[in-house]
Structure 1
C-alpha cells in the first residue's frame, strides 16, 4: 500500500485554486464581470461550483484575486524618475491596450462590485506612485495622476473620444509631461511651479 506523500492534499488544493484563478481570469477578461458566472468558471476549471465558493466565497472576491495577481508597473522611488516611468507605461498602453485592462475598465463602469475590486487593485499602483513623490500631499498627487491615466484610457479605448482616440501617443505624452513632472516634483524645489499651472496647456507661440 502506497502512503500518500506529506502535503499532497495541500498541493492538490493549490493546483485546484490556481486552475480556478486561471479560468476566472479568462472568463472575466473575455465576458466582463456581469456576464461571468461561478458555474461557468467552475466548468472551465473542471471543478464543482461549491469548490469555487469554498476557496473564494464570492464572485467579487474571485474578481479581486484575479486583479491582485495581475502585474503592477514598477515605479522608482528616486525623485525625477517617477514622471518618466509613469509616462512610459502610459505610452505603451496608448498604443496597444491589453484586453485585460479594457475588460477591467468596462466592468468598473457597469458594476459597483467590480468597481470596488478595481479600485482596490489600482490602489497598489497609487501607493507606488505616492512613495516616489517627495511631498506631504503625495497621496493626493498620486490620486490625481491615477485619475488622469484612467480618464485618458477610458476616453481613448472605450468611449472612443475622437480627438483622443486619433491622437498620436507621442503627442499625448508630450502634452501630459509638464503635468506629471509637476505632480511628482520635489516639494523643496527652490522655484516650484504649481501643479495647476503645469497642467494648463500653454497657447502656441506666434
Structure 2
C-alpha cells in the first residue's frame, strides 16, 4: 500500500512529465495549467497547489539536467561529450526542449539554458589543453545546442538520420575541438 507521501510524489512526477512534454511541444505561452492537469490525469487546482504557478511549474519542468561530470584525458573527454550528444540526439530531451523552445520569448528560460551551458563549458575548458580552450569549449557547446535544436525543434532535412550517422560527422569535430589538433590561423 502506498503512503500519502508516495502518492503525492507520483502525482507530482505525472504532472512534471506532462508539463515537460507540453511545454516542449507547445512552448510556455500556448501551454495551459488545465491542459497539463488533463494530460497528468489530475485537476488544475492540484497542479496549482503543488507548484504554485505556471511559472514555477515551468521552472521545475524546464530545468536542464546536467550531463554529469566530465573528466579524464582529452580522448576520454571527447568520448564523454560524444556519448552525451548521441543520447540527446537519440531521445528527445523533453526538459531541455521545453527550456530551448521558451528561451526565445522568456528571459528566465534563456538564463536557465545559458547557466547550464556555461557551467559545462567552464568544466570542459578547464580540462582542455591550449590557450584557446574556452573558445573550443564554446564551439562544442554551440555545436551541441545547434544539433539538438535543429534535430528536435526545427527538424532540419538530413538531421533525421540515426544518431550514429550524425555522430559519424559531428564526432570527429568534437574530437578535434577537444584535442586542439587543428591550429587556429
- Pairwise TM-score range, normalised by the shorter structure: 0.5 to 0.7
Give distance in 2, aligned partners of 1:199 and 1:166.
32
TM score, norm. by length of structure 1: 0.61
What residue is the counterpart of 1:98 in the other structure?
92
Q: What are the superposed Cα offsets for residues 40-89 of structure 1, whole Å, 9 maximum, x if unpaired?
A: 11222233323322322332332232234x65434442132112221333
> C-alpha displacement at 1:140, in angstroms?
7.0
Confirm or deny: 8 A CA contact 2:67 2:84 kept in the other structure.
yes
- Corresponding residue to 1:82 among 73, 77, 80: 77
Which runs of structure 2 are paired with 1:1-206 in the superposition (5 Å)? 8-68=3-63, 72-80=66-74, 81-91=76-86, 93=88, 96=90, 98=92, 100=94, 102=97, 104-122=99-117, 125-126=120-121, 129=124, 132-133=127-128, 142-155=137-150, 158-159=153-154, 165=159, 169=166, 170-182=168-180, 198=183
Confirm or deny: 8 A CA contact 1:64 1:121 kept in the other structure.
no
Q: What are the superposed Cα offsets for residues 103-162 of structure 1, whole Å, 9 maximum, x if unpaired?
A: 543333344343334344545644653575588997776445323321344356555667
> C-alpha displacement at 1:32, in angstroms?
2.7
> C-alpha displacement at 1:36, in angstroms?
1.1
Confirm or deny: 8 A CA contact 1:104 1:118 kept in the other structure.
yes
Extract unaligned runs of 5+ from structure 2: none
3-state SS, counterpart of residue 109 of structure 1: coil
Kindly name which structure, 1 or 2, has the bigger radius of gyration based on alpha carbons. 1
Q: What are the superposed Cα offsets for residues 90-109 of structure 1, whole Å, 9 maximum, x if unpaired?
A: 34555x46263555433333
> C-alpha displacement at 1:23, in angstroms?
1.9
Give distance in 1, aligned partners of 2:51 and 2:133.
34
Provide the aligned length of Structure 1 versus Structure 2.
179
What residue is the counterpart of 1:188 in the other structure?
none
Q: What are the superposed Cα offsets for residues 157-178 of structure 1, whole Å, 9 maximum, x if unpaired?
A: 555667x859963233323421
TM score, norm. by length of structure 2: 0.66
Give distance in 2, aligned partners of 1:12 and 1:157.
33
Give distance in 2, aligned partners of 1:108 and 1:62.
16
